[in-house]
Each structure stands twice: as structure tokens, then as C-alpha cells.
Structure 1
Amino acid sequence: MKTPLEWKKYYESPSFRENYIYKGNDLGVSCTAGRTLFKLWSPSADSVTLNLYREGSAGEAYAHIPMSGEENGVWSFAAKENMHGVYYDYTLVIEDETVTSADPYAKACGINGRRSMAVDLRLTDPDGWEFDRSPEKGPEQVIYELHVKEFSWDASGGFPEEVRGKYKAFTCGSTTLYHDGIHPTGLDYLRGLGVTHIQIMPAYDYGSVDEEGEDTQFNWGYDPVNYNVPEGSYSSDPAHGEVRVREMKEMIQALHARGFRVIMDVVYNHTYSLDSWFQRTAPWYFYRVFDDGRISNGSACGNDVASEREMCADYILQSVLYWTQEYHIDGFRFDLMGLLDVGLMNRIRRELDERYGKGEKLLFGEPWAAGETAMEGGAVPALKKNISLLDENIGMFCDDTRDAVKGSALKVKKPGFINGAEEKEEDIISSAGAWCGEQTGKKYGVKAPSQVITYVSAHDNQTLWDKLTETMPGSDREEKMRLNRMAAALYMTCQGTLFLLSGEEFARTKEGMEDSYNAPISLNRLDWEQAWENRSLVEYYQGLIALRKQLPGLCDKSEEASARIFGIAKEEGAVSFLVDNRPQERWSILKIVYNSSRKTKKVSLGGEKWEVLCDGRDSRLWQSPGYVEGETRILPQSVLILGRPRMRAAQNTLKAV
């Protein structure tokens, strides 16, 4: 067998690219009434045999069928029957070595993905699936990151025991917590919170959880095995491949019916293991290798997927399109997007826009990598520094805003603006304009707020509450609650698309753990009791989100949005600015003030009358109008939001008390 470097040189040769790039989009299994077609791309195979099984993990094959070699490295077999529910894998001979592989293009599988399954997808559709539609877009997009198992595991959520940690938990109707009355949990709670998009952490088939093992196993799932198959541990019956397909559709259908769009967290930058179906069917084609023969590991997971190669790029594109078409997915969050190339990301954006309308499907990712990668052929990585090369509707998580607000995610003791760091005022001003204006005299290459995901917490690193605990060791609970409210009000008054980790709004803690990817479910689960205990914080988030949806000056995602921000002033520990909020008639101009000091500060209003919309204690003041003029005050460690019905010149001055 060739070495990795020899394979690399072979795949780079003109003869390979001329003879073995397949242009069709029908690889895998097509299973319909009266016909089943198997197609596999394995350009270096000398022979391929299709093995058929009645079970997804046990039993011997009942048939071994030689497949026919076609052009461009494709092998095929057609049966004149619907083989829905039949399991299969392939035996390949490549350079005198025999390997067995599941189908990298499979759409269903058995236990742990070891065998693929032929599936007639129409037989997996829930009742009414043909009528399933995404909710209409509102004035703002608020993304809530959620793990399938974490969502419903805790008994306090009121979910029936048999669905806890499963897709089915999203379909069981209203759930409640009984605690001095009835309090909504689950989807009713999220609806009340005001989020618009639910981002599901990896729900494709991944390798770190044994689907035959104990139900208490836990992993985030950033270790793909079968990219186009739902994860079986979240289904009620992982042994039958069609069940996970149907139940994931039921979850999405239920989310749509309750008013949520659904974002899928996808990990196309690496696989669970180098011993993957990719590797077994096309050795080293789907992976990067350095010119000295070293295996590329920019993911820090043992391998990097070669997104710049034609068949790999097409695989990723077709996978994204499959999830949108078959599962009605509304957007994608790309793990380590910086390991994928700009050309592919822009191509995915174009294809989605052509099919569904410009910007209709959300597309964003992490604009970084864990290390150097061996990208080939002059391809440009989709890193933060290359944001100007990406379509304006491809977003990136903004670690600059995150770190400016609360401190570095990678240096747990390092604070940000709200928790005592000095000289963060200019970064906060840039954060307000989504880093695409020239308020600070600097340019960052960001085209529009549509390219910026504005957030302070995600599944990676510490929760917001744990970060505050680490950086404010002498603070009591009241001060940390005050800072949590400030963090929320600050990033929710910045331009960009809003994103939060599930439970941030009720001071979720993981006891200081930075990386809980395989920690016990008892640590990772959403604690619905805590949501009740910290309901005043939840209510503050509710009010902020409801207010945000009425502020077009902040919701604007266009290239002209940064021009809405003006009248900037700053001093140590304090920042203020004005926002053109038209066409909103009630408040055509906003005045926003951030005070991170422990002192109350005076705010000069330039002789104008302003309506108080939100302060450090109450985010629903806009519901009961109260007015200030001439001068007002901002509480310590808080955000003040004022609204004025007509735009006039205003002086923006701050004075410490």
C-alpha cells in the first residue's frame, strides 16, 4: 500500500483529476418503490463487493454481490426491488489489501454506524411532514445553543422518564416544574424567553457514545462517524436504522411548530478516527498530509479533512444540502470553520441562496483552527483574518467581543470590561458596531454585522457564571448577578447576530470546568430548578430579548449599519453612544451607556427628554414609560438604555459621582 505522501502525489496528478472526479450527486443508496441503487466512489479499488444483512450489528451476510465498475471511480449495483431496512457494507480490494467498510454516503445505519442501511426516506416521514414549514423570520435572530441530551435529562424538567435525553423529549408537549406554582420548562420556557433559533449540538452519528451502552453516557458529539445519519443514542431504538431518522424529523417538526428555526452544528473539519469510511474506501483522499509526509492535525483531533479537494468539497456541499432538503434544517454552525476553505464556504452559501433565497439559511462558524493545516492548491482558509473574502452572509463567532466583555476564554483568570480590566473601552465601542465601522479609527475587514456572531458564552470554555466566579473571587452572589445582567445587556446592545449558551440566562454553572465534552450528564444537564431559583435573571434576559426585537438600529445586518452609531464618548470604565433607531417610531434614537465601575455615574442628557427603557435592575422599563431629562444616573456595573422619539443633536458626557 502507498504511503500517505505517495497517495497525496497521486491525487494531485492531472491524470487522477481528469479520470476520477465524479460529477453526479447520487452516491450512496437511492431506495424507492421497485428499485434500489447502490453507488460508491472508490477510485483506487480493484474490486468492490456489496454485502447484505438482515440486522444492523449481528448476523452473517445473506448475500455477497460483486459491484460493477463505472467511469470516474464509481462502483454500482441496482436491484429491482425496494430494499428499505436492509443493512449493508462493502468489501474492497485496494492494492492487494482487503478491507470492509460501511458507506460514507449512507443516510441510515445500524448500531454505532458499523453497518449502513438502505432507507426509503418517504417511509420515515412523520405524519404531516409534507406540511412542515420553518417559522417566518422576525425582526431579530436570537440563537440558543442546546444539546439534545442536556435539554431533558434532569427530572425537574417534567419530561416523561422514557423520553429524557432523547429526540422525543422535544415532542411531548408542555412540560412544567412544580415549585410554589407551575413554571414552564422545555419548549414553553424557551418560547417565553424569546429565542428564535435553536442550535442543536451535534446530532449526526458520532463515535464517542456506545449506542448499546448505558444511557448515562455523555459526549458533546464532535467526533463524526456518519455525516448524513442522525445519532442513535438519542433515539428510542438505535438498533433499527429508520427510527432515528423519523424521530429526528419529529424533533425538528415540533420545534418548527412551536415557532423555532433549527440550526445544525456540523463538524466537517475532522473525523472521529483516521480509520474512517473515507479512509477505507479512498485511502488518504479525504485527509490532508504535509509535503514531508506528516499527517495534518490542525483540528487537534488527529486528522484534518481536505475540504479543498473536489470530491471532498462536493461531499460536504451535498451533505449540507441533504440536511436542508430532507430534514428541513434552517442553518448550520461549522465547527473549526478555519480548517475549511473560503472557496467551499462561499460555494455552500451560493447554493443555499439559489435554493432558498438570499440569506434565508443561516451559515456561520468558528473562524479559527487548533493548529497549522496542510491546505493544498492555493486554497485560503476561512479564518478570521480572511473574513473580507467570505460572503457577507457567512458569520463568524466574534471572540473579540466575547473577550472584551468578560475576559479571555482561554485565560480563565483574565477579566474583561465588566469585571475590572483596564483599557477595554475602545474594544467595547468596536463591539457595539460589530467591528465593521470606523468608530475607533480601525478597520477589521468585516463587511457587515451579518458576519458577526455576538456572544459571551458557548459550550466551549467556562460558562459565563463560572468565568465571573473565577475573575471576581471576592465578589458576593449579588455582585455576580449584577455582572451577569450587565454582560447580557452589553452584548444584546451590540450589532450582530445574538447567540447564547443554554442556561446562561439562569447562571448555569459547570463547577468551573472549562471543557465538559465527556463529563457526566449530571454536570452537563440543564438544571430546571436553577432556572426557577434564578427566575429574576431569566426575566431580565426575557425583557432584553423582547426590547432588542424593537430596536432596528441594533438589529440591522446591512453594510450601512455601522453608520447608525454615533456620538461616542468614553472614560475609564464607561462608554456611551447614540444609535439611529429608525424606522422605529416610538424611539427613533437610542442612548446606550455602559458603566463597569463600582460607582454610580451621572449622565448628561443635553436638555433632552428621554424614555428609560432598561437599567441594571429592570429590562422591562419600556413597558411602563418613565422619563428623564437634563441629567440622570447610571448604576454601578450596569447598562442604561434610553429612547427618544425624535432625533436631535445630543451631547454625550459622563461624570463620575
Structure 2
Amino acid sequence: MKLRQLLLIALMTLLATTAATGQPVVYTPRQSTFKLHTLPSAKAVVLRIYNQGTGGKAVKTVEMKRVGHKQGQLATYEATLKGDLKGKFYTLDVKYGQHFLGECPGPEAQAVGVNGQRGAVVDMRDTDPEGWAQDRGPDIAGKDLMIYELHHRDFSIARNINLDPAIHVKRQSSQYPGKYLALTEPWAINHLKQLGVNAVHLLPSFDFASIDESKPDVPQYNWGYDPLNYNVPEGSYSTNAADPVTRIREFKLMVQALHRAGIKVILDVVYNHMFSIEGNSFQKTMPDAIFRKLPDGSYSNGSGCGNETKSEGIFGDYMLRSVKYWVDEYHIDGFRFDLMGVHDIATMNKIRHELPSGIFIYGEGWSAGSCALPASKLGVKANLPKMPGIAAFSDEMRDALRGPFNDDHKGAFLAGIAGEEESIKAGIAGCIAHPQVDYSKVNYSKQPWALQPTQMIAYVSCHDDMCLVDRLRTELPGIAGDELERLDMLAQTAVFTSQGVPFMLSGEEMMRDKKGVHNSFNSPDSINQLDWNGKLLHPQVWNYYCQLLALRKAHPAFRLGEAELVRRHLEFLPTQDCVVAFCLKDHAGGDNWSNIYVVLNARNTPARVEVPQGWYTVVAAGGKIDAGGMGTFNGSAVEVAPQSALIMHQ
């Protein structure tokens, strides 16, 4: 009797999990149950079973049964097939009116064959690496995060390219260039740990449409912002895209390796649009139910990609199920929402509320065009006070440092152009209300939009637009190499001494460039790949980054995490043209340094800044950082070298 009770409890748990995640296939060796949600107007659903993930004829065809629906809600179809179907593939075909809309794996698919056209029957236990049940992400508060954005292929595809012979240094090669498994290799983990980042932001890693996974030996590149199957890892980053189990297991191995290194894993999710209106599983199973339309019946295009999803409808419920699935099945620690300004506030808040508090959520607080919903209801930056616990990127700080996003040739603070100092101060404060920040002089936002500094992502570059090196070369034609290095280090000093959550693009620590390409979403490897020679060719930059991140980690004054603490302890010094200076005073955050002074000088001449009379220990100057001290002085003014940062403390 006791055994029967345990089995009943286990079955009830399984059914509860299935209902919560929208599990499309429940597999056991004896039978498999398939489920699909459709619109109530659907006339029929046909399930087809295949031996292969692509090609060949169906070996079994079954008409699924409608198992009921509530008025106005989705209908549910179900079919149970006897026998062990592990390793088989399936499609679903839904009839509306007189026509079937075409085979697809269904929106909830959790395993697929090559190119994601057929779902796969797998036992998810087969995908778990050894020790997966014990895997947990590190416990790192949002205020303590230092985020490193990378694309799987960028990061490792050129790891095996020979070094410049003049350097005479050997390095570890990658056995898995361009793959998930590259991030399990010692060279990759060691690089991230030495740099000091504690969170990796992965560009879209769900199954996307633009890469032909059946041709792994043909160089293909895309950032992946063209969703196909939201709940399945992309196959082209796997060593065998044709095997549904391999891509899942290798993704989990990557997560596990990063977790063991003390690094959180953040997933870039693209729920704001589909790769096309036709051809995706949503349109084939519930036509026009997930896309917003304009009054004239045309599709709204707030994403700039030809369509925008309707998060305030059934798709919002899907988004919630999807992110919960990534947390539960893949142990994901955070999400970056692409064009979060397309999604409605209520849905974003529901996601925040129903995910564990340790899951870090942030996004782009804008859209790429006008949406069918009014801006007052959307997750744009100005509405962040209505979205507590969710962060957004600060384009104010970004463009104040490097220049406007819509003109690659126009510089700003880093180019020695005055006028952006107040915008940088807003970024230093975390875009909260601060008595010394005049928002009437801040670009883009004329009032604070963050309730807490942890709601602001501080950055100067990401995958979008030019990387920092290319941007500086474009706006400062003929810039010399040493000046380029100085400005690169100065920019990141602003980012990593900000009270916001700092974020950097992979490769910036090695002076990465993309040959001047502004939008490299489908450029070849020669444009996007990291040049690992850069780590050795620019040792001062690499060392500066490592010491800068270590300084932030060691000193809580740089990451107070609460607006009131920032207002109490962050004091700006009088502003000068192309000079921003501030003090973190009175042992801010319990710091063992009583007063920390930071001066950012973008001039090409020295800057003189007055400070209170006293003894100071310098820890950063002239493009070098030494937390143990680089010297002391007693005075009431300090001179800061051109195009550099000074950090000192009492």
C-alpha cells in the first residue's frame, strides 16, 4: 500500500509539473502522451510520428482528441500512443475551416530535430549531466553583478588561430570552437575568472531560424534574434544538431561549468517578435492569436522585424511558462528581454513576481518602432518605476560617453566634447533621483526613471552598434593606438564605478574590433570573432580591466544597491567641461575606505580638481590600478592625467 501511495504522489507531481510548464510530450517507456493547445475554432489536430528529424514518411498518423475547453479560452487536444517512442519525432497539423495549416512541432516543443521542424520524443533524464540535480547558480545579489555579454561563436571560433609569431607565447586551443562546450573548457573558464566577471549574458541560445543546422561544416553566422522554437537550445552551437539529446545535454554542461566557476548564466530572450508571421508554430496552431494588429487589420511592427507579439494576451502566459521552464530545466539565473518596450507592463511584472527573487531580469527599455499598445502600458524605460525589480539599459550614459546611437561619426565625452557631464552623472548615480543631478540637462530622459540603482544597466557598448574600439576610431579619425587604449580604459572606469549594474561586451578587455561594421548580425567570423592575440598585444588594457573589476568587487561603496544610500553617500564635485568627479563618503556601504574619490578626465590635457585638504592614497592613475596603493600625497587639489581616471581614498 505504501508503494502504491508513493507512485500516486509521483504521478500527481508529474501531472502538476506538466500543467505548469505546458509540457507537450509526457514520455514513459510504456506510452507517450502528446498535448496541444489551439483556438476553440480549430476543427481537428493530426499527430504524425517519424523515424527521423527530417525527411522520410510518417510511420504513424493519429487524429488527436479534444479534451475540452472553457468558453473563450484555448482548446486542448491530446493523444496517447502505446509503446516506447524514445528517439522518434513528431509533428502537429491543425485544421481550421476546410484547411490544415501545415506540420510543425508546436509552440511548446522542448526537443526538436535538425532545423527545428519536428518535435522529438526524449526522456529528459537522459539529457542531465552527472551531478545536474545538485547544480545551483551562485548566490550573487543584483547589486554585485558584473555582466559579460558574449556570442557563442564570437567567443571561441578563433581560439585556435595561430598567434603572431613575434609574441612567442603558446595558449590552450579549443576542442569545441563556436560550441556550447567551449565554455566548459579550462581556458575559457580561466579567462572569465581572471577578468573577474560573475555573470555571463548569452546572446540568443534558443533554437533560431537563420542557421541551417544540417550543414555544420559551412560557416554561418547570426546573432539569433529570429526565434523558431523558444524552449529548445539552438542546434548549431551543439556538436550534433541532429541529435535532440546532445544539444540539450551540452547546453546543461555549459551551465554547470559556469556555475561551478561561480558565474551566473543569463539568457537573452526574444519574445517580442517571430522570425516571420507565416511558418512558425504559433501561426500554424493558433493563427493571428499572438500578433498585435492595427485598426486597419495590418500587423503592427514595434519590433522593426515585420511583426510584434501580443504579450497582453495568451502569448504573455506563454512567456511566463517559457522563462519558468528555462529556470527549472536549465537552471538559468537571469533574463535579458530584447526590446522589452514591446511588452506590456503587467506581463513583465507577472514574470518578475512569479520567478524566484534571485533571478535577475533586465531589458531594452525601448521598442524599434511604434507599437499597437500605447506607451503608457509598455515596458519602456520611462515606466520602470511601475516595474520594481526589473532593470533597463541606460542609453543616457552610453551615448554621453561615446556619442549618439544614430550617428557613428559624432563623439561626446570620450572625444573631448563638453556638454554630456550631467548625463554621465545620472549614470554614475544609477539614474535615480539625486539632488546633484540636473535631469533637464540629461540626454533622452528629463527625469529619473530608476527607483533603485540596480534597475539601471551601465554600459558603453554591447553587440548592437559598433564596439567601443570601432566607435572611437570612427569619431576620432587617425586616433593613435595609445590614445585608443586610454579612452577605452576611461570609458569602462565610468561603467564599473557606477552605482548601476555594470555590463560589458566580450572582447573589450582585449581591444576587440569588428573592422568598423556597425551591425554585424550576419557578418562572417572574420568580422565577429574575438582576436585572442589582443589579450597579449594590449597587456595594459587587459590588466587594467582585471584590476578595475577586482576593485569594484572588493569595495561595496561602488555598489550600494539602494537609492537612499546612494543619495546619502555619493557626492559630486563641481563639474568641469569633460571632467566628472565624485566622492563616495563616510565608509559608504560599510567600506573600509572612509572616502573614495573618482575623477574622470576626458580632456587631452591634465585636469586640476580641488578636494578637501588631507592625506590620500592613490589606487588608480595613468591607466594603471593597484588597490594596495600607488603612492600617497597630502593636499587640497589633484592633477589628473589626460584621458584617464584617477581613483584615490582616505
Is TM > 0.5 for Structure 1 vs Structure 2?
A: yes
Match of 1:196 in 2: 198
Q: Per-residue deviation at 1:427?
A: 1.4
Contact conserved, 1:85 with 1:242, CA < 8 A, in 2? no
C-alpha root-mean-square deviation of aligned residues, in Å? Answer: 1.9
Contact conserved, 2:620 with 2:630, CA < 8 A, in 1? no
Alignment of 1:519-538 (within 5 A): 519-538=523-542
Opposite residue 554 of structure 1, the aligned amino acid is F
Match of 1:121 in 2: 124
Q: Per-residue deviation at 1:583?
A: 4.2
Q: Given the superposition, is the C-alpha separation of residues 381 and 491 from structure 1 closer, same or farther in structure 2, using an over 3 Å criterion?
A: same
Match of 1:179 in 2: none
Other structure's SS at 1:343 match? helix
Other structure's SS at 2:625 match? coil
Match of 2:15 in 1: none
Match of 1:83 in 2: 85
Other structure's SS at 2:624 match? coil
TM-score calculated relative to the size of structure 1: 0.89
* Whole-angstrom distance in 2 between the partners of 1:160 and 1:81: 45
Opposite residue 169 of structure 1, the aligned amino acid is A
Contact conserved, 1:27 with 1:40, CA < 8 A, in 2? no
Match status 1:420 vs 2:425: no
* Whole-angstrom distance in 1 between the partners of 2:555 and 2:456: 18
Q: Given the superposition, is the C-alpha separation of residues 223 and 534 from structure 1 closer, same or farther in structure 2, using an over 3 Å criterion?
A: same
583-592 or 259-268, which moves further after superposition? 583-592
State which of 292, 299, 311 in structure 2 corresponds to 1:295. Answer: 299
Match of 1:36 in 2: 32
Match status 1:266 vs 2:262: no
* Whole-angstrom distance in 1 between the partners of 2:348 and 2:83: 38
Alignment of 1:5-154 (within 5 A): 25-43=21-39, 44-72=41-69, 73-99=75-101, 100-137=103-140, 140-154=144-158
Opposite residue 209 of structure 1, the aligned amino acid is I
Contact conserved, 2:174 with 2:182, CA < 8 A, in 1? no
Match of 1:637 in 2: 643
* Whole-angstrom distance in 2 between the partners of 1:220 and 1:57: 24
Deviation readout 1:119-168 (Å, 9 max, x if unpaired): 22111111111121212327721100111111211114866565111112
* Whole-angstrom distance in 1 between the partners of 2:173 and 2:430: 43
Other structure's SS at 1:549 match? helix
Opposite residue 405 of structure 1, the aligned amino acid is L
Deviation readout 1:287-320 (Å, 9 max, x if unpaired): 11111111111111111111110x2111100000
TM-score calculated relative to the size of structure 2: 0.90
Match of 2:211 in 1: 209
Contact conserved, 2:64 with 2:79, CA < 8 A, in 1? yes
* Whole-angstrom distance in 2 between the partners of 1:396 and 1:609: 39
Q: Per-residue deviation at 1:348?
A: 0.6
Contact conserved, 1:56 with 1:117, CA < 8 A, in 2? yes
Other structure's SS at 2:78 match? strand
* Whole-angstrom distance in 2 between the partners of 1:490 and 1:369: 26
Q: Per-residue deviation at 1:402?
A: 0.3
Other structure's SS at 1:512 match? coil
Q: Per-residue deviation at 1:272?
A: 1.0
Match of 2:390 in 1: 394
Contact conserved, 2:22 with 2:108, CA < 8 A, in 1? no
* Whole-angstrom distance in 2 between the partners of 1:352 and 1:323: 11
Opposite residue 61 of structure 1, the aligned amino acid is A
Opposite residue 372 of structure 1, the aligned amino acid is S
Q: Per-residue deviation at 1:26?
A: 3.1
* Whole-angstrom distance in 2 between the partners of 1:519 and 1:352: 36
Deviation readout 1:242-297 (Å, 9 max, x if unpaired): 11111111111111112211000110001111121100100100111111111111
* Whole-angstrom distance in 1 between the partners of 2:321 and 2:83: 26
Match status 1:494 vs 2:492: no
Q: Per-residue deviation at 1:577?
A: 1.7
* Whole-angstrom distance in 2 between the partners of 1:510 and 1:315: 36
Contact conserved, 2:151 with 2:223, CA < 8 A, in 1? yes
State which of 552, 557, 574 in structure 1 corresponds to 2:561. Answer: 557
Q: Per-residue deviation at 1:519?
A: 0.4
Match status 1:608 vs 2:614: yes
State which of 589, 592, 603 in structure 1 corresponds to 2:598. Answer: 592
Q: Per-residue deviation at 1:83?
A: 2.7
* Whole-angstrom distance in 1 between the partners of 2:132 and 2:415: 48
Contact conserved, 1:288 with 1:295, CA < 8 A, in 2? yes
- Aligned-residue identity in percent: 36
Match of 1:236 in 2: 239
Gaps in structure 1 of 5+ consecutive residues: 1-21, 176-185, 645-657
Contact conserved, 1:565 with 1:579, CA < 8 A, in 2? yes
Match status 1:341 vs 2:344: yes
Deviation readout 1:322-373 (Å, 9 max, x if unpaired): 00010000100111111111111111111113xxxx3x11100011111011
Match of 1:169 in 2: 182
626-635 or 326-335, which moves further after superposition? 626-635
476-485 or 324-333, which moves further after superposition? 476-485
Q: Given the superposition, is the C-alpha separation of residues 131 and 23 from structure 1 closer, same or farther in structure 2, using an over 3 Å criterion?
A: closer
Match of 1:9 in 2: none
* Whole-angstrom distance in 2 between the partners of 1:556 and 1:141: 12
Match of 1:8 in 2: none
* Whole-angstrom distance in 1 between the partners of 2:623 and 2:595: 22
Q: Given the superposition, is the C-alpha separation of residues 42 and 27 from structure 1 closer, same or farther in structure 2, using an over 3 Å criterion?
A: farther
Opposite residue 584 of structure 2, the aligned amino acid is V
Contact conserved, 2:617 with 2:629, CA < 8 A, in 1? no
Match of 1:374 in 2: 372
Contact conserved, 2:93 with 2:285, CA < 8 A, in 1? no
Opposite residue 305 of structure 1, the aligned amino acid is T
Q: Per-residue deviation at 1:474?
A: 3.7
* Whole-angstrom distance in 2 between the partners of 1:210 and 1:616: 48
State which of 399, 404, 417 in structure 1 corresponds to 2:400. Answer: 404
Deviation readout 1:42-95 (Å, 9 max, x if unpaired): 122101111001110021110001101122211011234453322000122111
Q: Per-residue deviation at 1:201?
A: 0.7
Deviation readout 1:207-245 (Å, 9 max, x if unpaired): 000001244111110001000011111111111111111
State which of 459, 474, 479 in structure 2 corresponds to 1:475. Answer: 479
Q: Per-residue deviation at 1:602?
A: 2.4
Contact conserved, 1:483 with 1:638, CA < 8 A, in 2? yes
Opposite residue 369 of structure 2, the aligned amino acid is G
Match of 1:544 in 2: 548
Contact conserved, 2:302 with 2:369, CA < 8 A, in 1? yes
298-307 or 148-157, which moves further after superposition? 148-157
Gaps in structure 2 of 5+ consecutive residues: 1-17, 70-74, 163-170, 440-446
Contact conserved, 2:421 with 2:579, CA < 8 A, in 1? yes
